[in-house]
Chains A and B, each alone.
Chain A
C-alpha cells in the first residue's frame, strides 16, 4: 500500500504511487514546510517503511497508528528521527519520534486524531542523514446520522 516513486521530493510536493494510482500530495503549505524542514534538502530513498492504519477509521478521535522502518539499528546505521504528518489536520505535525540504537527497533505506535479523510505522511531520517518517506490514506467516518 505504499511505494516510493522515483521522483525526488524537493521542497514542495511529494509524489507517491499508492495502491496503483498516483496521487499528488496536495498538502497545505504548513505540512509542506514541516516536511521541507525535516528533509533539510535530502533526497528521499526507497526503504521499507510500514505504516499501519485502518482503511476506515471508526472516528477521528482515536485512530491507531503503527510505524515500522527496516533498519539494523546499530551505532553505525540507525533511524534517528521520524516525523509524522497529517496533511489535512489543523496542525499537520502529529508527532516526532527519536530513536537510539538502544531502542533495538525503529518501531513505534500510538493513537492519533484526524480531522477528516486524508493521507498520513511518514518521513524517517538516519544518523547519517539518509531520508525515507512513505504515505498512507485513511478514510475518516464522521458520524452516520449523528454519531
Chain B
C-alpha cells in the first residue's frame, strides 16, 4: 500500500506558486498540419506527478531488486570474466534438474527460451534460444555446461541469456542438477500438439474491435473523460473552459506526444502532461495512473485516433532524449540481466516466443497505448507497462514520471513513427 503521506505530500509540492508562463492555451499547427504542444501551455513545474517515495503496486512481487541494475541505477554484480574451474565431474540429479528447468518461479526458467526435450511436458516452451533437446550429444564437457548456465558471458559476451549463477537465481548444486539433466537430452522433442512447438505455433494476430465497448471494457475511459472534461476544479474552471470543442481542437494533438519540455528539462508524455496541466489550470490534481488521469490520457489519444504518430525532434534536446532512450533499450537490467532490445529486437529475442507469449518488436507497441489488459482487467498506460516489464525481469520499477521512462517513451514513439493511433487498445 502506498503510504498515506505520499499523495498528500505530492499535492503540497505541486504548489500553486510556480506556474509556467500562462500564455494562450493555444495549439500550434506545424508545416505537416499536425498540432504541436505550444511550450507555453501552462504546467505545474514544482513537484512530482506521482507519489513519493514510489512504492510498487499491490499484488506485484515485493522482492527487492536493489542488488541489480535498474534503468536509473547501476548495481548488478560484476560480469564473470573467466569460467570457473570445477574440482571434478558434476554430481547432480537429473530428475531435480528436469523440474528446475521448467520452474516458472525462477524467471520462467530455461523453458522460457529453450525447447528442452520432454522437460515440463514440452508444454509451450519458448524459442528465443536454441533447441537444447540434443545437447547431451553435442560433445560438451561438464565444466563447459556448468559455466554456460552459471554465467554464459564468459563464453559469449553478447549473450542475452541470464547469468543464472552470478545473479543468484540458481546455486551451484542446483546448476549441478541442471547440468546432469542436460546430459540426458539426446533426442528431438516430441510435442503433444503443434501448438506446443514454438516453430509451428501460429503468430497471434490482434483482430478485436477495440473501440466497441462490448468487446473492450477499456472504453469506460472515454465516457469517464467526457464527464471529467466538464467537471469544474477548485478554481471553478474545467477543461471545457479553454477547450470547448475537443473533437475539433485536439484532433491530432496526442499523435505528437511525447515531447521535450524545456521548463522541466525532461520528456513529458500525455499522462504527465495531464497531471501538470490540470493542476496549473483548473487546480485539479490527477496523479499519473489514477483513474482520472488514465481516462483523460485515453481520451486525448482517442480524439487523435487515425493520426500518424510523429514526434518533434527538431531541437537538440529532443534528439538527445532520443539518443538516451535508444541507449536505455540496450541497457541490461535486473536479476535476469536483459535489455529491452534483448526481447524486442528481431535480431535477438523479438518476434519469437518466450514460453507461450509472443515477443513483439518495438514498432507496433505504442500506437494502441493506453490499453485495456485482459489479464489485469484494467487500462494500463505505457509507463505502467514499462514498470511491469522491469519488475518481471527482476529490476526495480521507477516512478511513472521518471525521466528515464520519458526518454524511453520518446525513443519508442519514434520507432512507431507513421503508425496511426488506435486507442484504447485491447491486449493480454
Minimum CB distance partner of A137 in chain B? B193
Known A-B contacts A59-B375, A139-B195; the reply to A145 vs B356 at CB < 8 A is no
Stretch at the interface among B1-9, B27-35, B387-395: B387-395
Whether B377 and A141, one on each chain, are in contact in the complex, defined by CB atoms closer than 8 angstroms, is no
- Min distance, Cβ A147 to any Cβ of chain B, angstroms: 6
Does B149 lie at the interface of the complex (its beta carbon under 8 Å from any beta carbon of A)? no
Partner of B201, one of A56, A117, A147: A56
Whether B201 and A62, one on each chain, are in contact in the complex, defined by CB atoms closer than 8 angstroms, is no
Whether B355 and A143, one on each chain, are in contact in the complex, defined by CB atoms closer than 8 angstroms, is yes
Whether A145 and B107, one on each chain, are in contact in the complex, defined by CB atoms closer than 8 angstroms, is yes
Interface residues of B in 373-390 (CB under 8 A from A): 374-377, 388-389
Partner of A146, one of B108, B193, B202, B427: B108
CA distance A142 to B124 in the complex (A): 10
CA distance A59 to B359 in the complex (A): 15
CA distance A99 to B428 in the complex (A): 32
Known A-B contacts A56-B195, A58-B428; the reply to A147 vs B354 at CB < 8 A is no
- Min distance, Cβ A83 to any Cβ of chain B, angstroms: 25
Q: Which residues of A contact B257 (CB under 8 A)?
A: none
Whether B354 and A62, one on each chain, are in contact in the complex, defined by CB atoms closer than 8 angstroms, is no
Minimum CB distance partner of B355 in chain A? A144
Does A61 lie at the interface of the complex (its beta carbon under 8 Å from any beta carbon of B)? yes
Whether B377 and A144, one on each chain, are in contact in the complex, defined by CB atoms closer than 8 angstroms, is no
- Min distance, Cβ A144 to any Cβ of chain B, angstroms: 3
Whether A59 and B104, one on each chain, are in contact in the complex, defined by CB atoms closer than 8 angstroms, is no
Number of interface residues of B (CB under 8 A): 32
- Min distance, Cβ B160 to any Cβ of chain A, angstroms: 12
Whether B108 and A145, one on each chain, are in contact in the complex, defined by CB atoms closer than 8 angstroms, is yes
- 0/1 string, A45-78, CB within 8 A of B gives 1: 0000000000110111110000000000000000
- Min distance, Cβ A132 to any Cβ of chain B, angstroms: 25
- 0/1 string, B118-154, CB within 8 A of A gives 1: 0000011010000000000000000000000000000
Whether A143 and B201, one on each chain, are in contact in the complex, defined by CB atoms closer than 8 angstroms, is no
Whether B374 and A141, one on each chain, are in contact in the complex, defined by CB atoms closer than 8 angstroms, is no
Does B237 lie at the interface of the complex (its beta carbon under 8 Å from any beta carbon of A)? no
CA distance A62 to B112 in the complex (A): 23
Q: Which residues of B contact A145 (CB under 8 A)?
A: 107-108, 112, 336, 343, 354-355, 357, 392-393
- Min distance, Cβ A129 to any Cβ of chain B, angstroms: 35
Whether B124 and A141, one on each chain, are in contact in the complex, defined by CB atoms closer than 8 angstroms, is yes
CA distance A62 to B202 in the complex (A): 20
Known A-B contacts A59-B428, A139-B195; the reply to A144 vs B354 at CB < 8 A is yes
- Min distance, Cβ A38 to any Cβ of chain B, angstroms: 28
Whether A139 and B336, one on each chain, are in contact in the complex, defined by CB atoms closer than 8 angstroms, is no
Does B89 lie at the interface of the complex (its beta carbon under 8 Å from any beta carbon of A)? no
Minimum CB distance partner of B108 in chain A? A145
Interface residues of A in 80-105 (CB under 8 A from B): none
Minimum CB distance partner of A60 in chain B? B375
- Min distance, Cβ A75 to any Cβ of chain B, angstroms: 31
Q: Which residues of A contact B392 (CB under 8 A)?
A: 143, 145-147
Known A-B contacts A139-B124, A139-B195, A139-B356; the reply to A144 vs B112 at CB < 8 A is yes
Does B204 lie at the interface of the complex (its beta carbon under 8 Å from any beta carbon of A)? yes
Interface residues in chain B, defined as those with a beta carbon under 8 Å from any beta carbon in chain A: 104, 107-108, 112, 123-124, 126, 193, 195-196, 201-202, 204, 336, 343, 353-357, 359, 374-377, 388-389, 391-393, 427-428
- 9 A-B pairs, CB-CB below 8 angstroms? A56-B204, A59-B374, A61-B377, A62-B374, A62-B377, A139-B193, A143-B357, A143-B392, A144-B108
Q: A56-B124, A142-B104 are in contact. List 17 more A-B contacts (CB 8 A).
A: A58-B374, A58-B375, A58-B428, A59-B374, A139-B196, A141-B124, A141-B355, A142-B355, A144-B354, A144-B357, A144-B359, A145-B336, A145-B357, A145-B393, A146-B107, A146-B391, A147-B388
